[in-house]
Amino acid sequence: MSGDRARGLEIIGGAAGTAARLADLDRCAAALRSGAASLDQAWRALGRIWWTLDEWGTVRLTGPMLPAARLAREARAIVGAVRSGPHGVLALSRSLSESADHVASARGRYAEAESLASKLWLSLGPVVVPGLWHTSQLGFGVADGVESTWRLAEWDLGGDIPADWLEKVVDRVARVSPVASPGLRPLGDDAVPWVAGGLAGLATAPGPREVRALPVIGSRRTATPPRNVTDLVTDLTGLTGPRGAVVEITQLPRADGTSSWVVAIPGTQDWSVGHDDPLDLASNLQAMGGQTADSTRAVLAAMAAAGIGPHEPVVLAGHSQGGLVASQIAALGGYAVGAVLTVGSPTGSSATAATVPTLSLEHESDVVPALDGRAPSDDPRRTTVRGRAPREARRSFSRSHGTREYAELAEQVDASDHESVAHWRETVDELLGDGEAGTTRAYRLQRLETAR
């Protein structure tokens, strides 16, 4: 993990994140307490046996009952040792309770550390530097304005624009948007889905739009199964460019006659609205607004056309909007999606919450992941890896967002031994099995003009 820091990687959430640790500790403590409670009940049942034997052994007897009473007294002594002796059931119950207390104490220390960190952030919030900036219409404080100037100056000199600052800007802009906030309605801490949903409503015609997926003639080829994150990102790299809205679906046969599947989904191909390409701006807004995007329905159509069975394991990999689509498909159900990879996608809002183990790659200088207006959360289902784009790409918004540049980050992720990353890799390995070769086919996604 220290190697990750040396490579400039920041890894948030996942199986080794704080939230996962707290949930694990809760489960461990509950199991130990349950064990102690069962042993307490065993101790009480042994008590009932002990009292009965005591009665049998101490009753005033003469003649023929004497041997029976002696046996009862001997049995009572044995029961007493099993019940309350130094290694008896009661001692073991107390030992389990102590272990549960230790685990609960560790959980408390984790939670306390998290709470302290939160308090520190809150105390830093109201810092005011007087008289330098006036952006109150955007809800910015003076200190935010100074920070903005400083960040832009840094970027102009060749530095990064940190994603956390961009997220703050997006969130503040979203809060004052008239689409999201007519009147003075409070938006809570997740304003972007409101804005995106409102804009999607303005950008698209009402009612369902018909979409379809057609196999690309001549696209069938033999493919080796992806064996790491770099392979998955490289598959996405092959989808960018002039091909338009095309997804690639790889079928990997398994020994039991079923198949595993990998679906590679590119990012936005058309930055306008109202055309036949469903991977467009309107779909972006729909997905970020928590609506089932046209692009999501089109990819689902491609998966159906490919013949993916409802119980066959699927790994989804998506770049930019493709990551939003992948998250939506995993959440919708209908397919046995077991893992998702998102690359440069704004998936931090509640509208695109992870429902399966998800690995999210983000460049610090990539503005697109920051469009959700949220810092990556410590979510046990989502592992977010933030790293630096290659030096020559950092001052270019497009190259900071490019899949070729993300392939370098993927190589660093493959070299990481962080538990959260390792857990996601193991999940994918289990889903894909150890097949040697599969078949890849491309599908073109279309929104039918006649339906608009």
Partner 1 sequence: MEWIDACVPRRAGLLGELDDVRRHVADAALALRRALQAEWVSVAADGYRAEVEQHLRLLRSRAVAIDALESWIRSAETARAAVAPERVW
Enumerate binding residues for partner 1 (CB under 8 A): 15-16, 20-21, 24-25, 27-28, 31-32, 34-36, 38-39, 41-42, 45-46, 48-49, 52-53, 56, 61-65, 67-68, 71-72, 74-75, 78-79, 81-82, 87-89, 92, 95-96, 99, 103, 106, 419-420, 423
What's the rounded Cα separation, in Å, for the pair 92 and 139?
Answer: 60
Per the CB < 8 A criterion, the answer to whether 320 and 268 are in contact is: yes
**DSSP alpha helices (H): ranges in 247-292?**
281-288
What's the rounded Cα separation, in Å, for the pair 359 and 165?
Answer: 22
Per the CB < 8 A criterion, the answer to whether 295 and 278 are in contact is: yes
Query: What residues have CB less than 8 Å from 374, skipping those under 6 apart?
Result: 167, 171, 190, 192, 348, 349
Is the Cα torsion angle 201, 203, 206, 210 positive or negative in sign?
A: negative
Among the listed residues 421, 429, 344, the one whose alpha carbon sits nearest the alpha carbon of residue 10: 421
β-bridge pairing 313-319 and 259-265: parallel
Per the CB < 8 A criterion, the answer to whether 262 and 233 are in contact is: no
What's the rounded Cα separation, in Å, for the pair 239 and 271?
Answer: 17
Give φ, ψ of 240 to 5 degrees.
-80, 155
Which stretches of 216-325 are assigned E, i.e. beta strand?
221-223, 246-253, 259-265, 313-319
Give φ, ψ of 263 to 5 degrees.
-115, 120
What's the rounded Cα separation, in Å, for the pair 316 and 360?
Answer: 12
Per the CB < 8 A criterion, the answer to whether 299 and 317 are in contact is: no
What's the rounded Cα separation, in Å, for the pair 89 and 356?
Answer: 41
Element housing 315 (H / E): strand 313-319
Burial class (CB in 10 A: 0-12, 13-18, 19+), 434: exposed
379: DSSP letter:
B
| Residue 451: HSE in the Cβ half-sphere, 13 Å Cα cutoff | 15
Helix, coil or strand: residue 251: strand
Tokens of 34: 């349950």
- Backbone conformation region of residue 401, classed left if phi is above 0, alpha if psi is from -120 to 50, else beta: alpha
Per the CB < 8 A criterion, the answer to whether 403 and 231 are in contact is: no
